[in-house]
Structure 1
Amino acid sequence: MCLAVPSKIVEINDTVAKVDVDGVTRQISTMLLGDVKIGDYVIVHAGFAINKVDEATARETLEDLRQILAADARQDDGRNEQ
């Protein structure tokens, strides 16, 4: 499964940007969006920025993803203990 994840743009070089998600950085393409700047939050899917989002929405979505991952990890721990 491939998730579209909100990411903060920390560096831009033409149509390639470096984004940060919880301290993990990676390069993405901004060709589909065009006008982005450092500090913008974008939704990244399959290595492409596909949409801009405001900071509050990005933070809320990231927190939701953290909670889902934590719940999944707890479920896995429960299965491993049986």
Structure 2
Amino acid sequence: MCLGVPAKVIKIESEKALVDVMGSRMYVGIVFVPEVKISDFVLLHAGQAMTIIDEVYAKESIEEWRRVLDGNFKSSI
């Protein structure tokens, strides 16, 4: 199973970008999204930005991640 985490691009340096993931900052690879710009949201997997995502979707996804991390989610299984 693969999980993607939304992140906001803060800074771009060659083939890497500084991103914000729910308040934590880290550098990730951007070779799969060479067109990425500062303030774009990307979906991360294994230290790489895999795709650029819509801001509304990113913010909704971040809220869901917060619920999961806080233990406030309901399983549909």
Q: Report the TM-score when normalising by structure 2.
A: 0.85
Shift of 1:2: 5.7
1:21-53 deviation per Cα after TM superposition (whole angstroms, max 9, x unaligned): 122000000001110100000001001000111
Number of residues of Structure 1 aligned to a counterpart in Structure 2: 72
Q: For structure 2, list consecutive stretches of 5 or more residues without a partner in the other structure.
A: 73-77
Moved >3 Å (runs of 4+): none
Q: Report the TM-score when normalising by structure 1.
A: 0.81
Shift of 1:3: 2.7
- Whole-angstrom CA distance in 2 between matches of 1:70 and 1:2: 21
Counterpart of 2:38 in structure 1 is 38
Tell me which structure has the larger Cα radius of gyration: 1
Identity %: 39
Counterpart of 1:12 in structure 2 is 12
RMSD over aligned CA atoms reads 1.5
- Higher helix fraction (1 or 2): 1
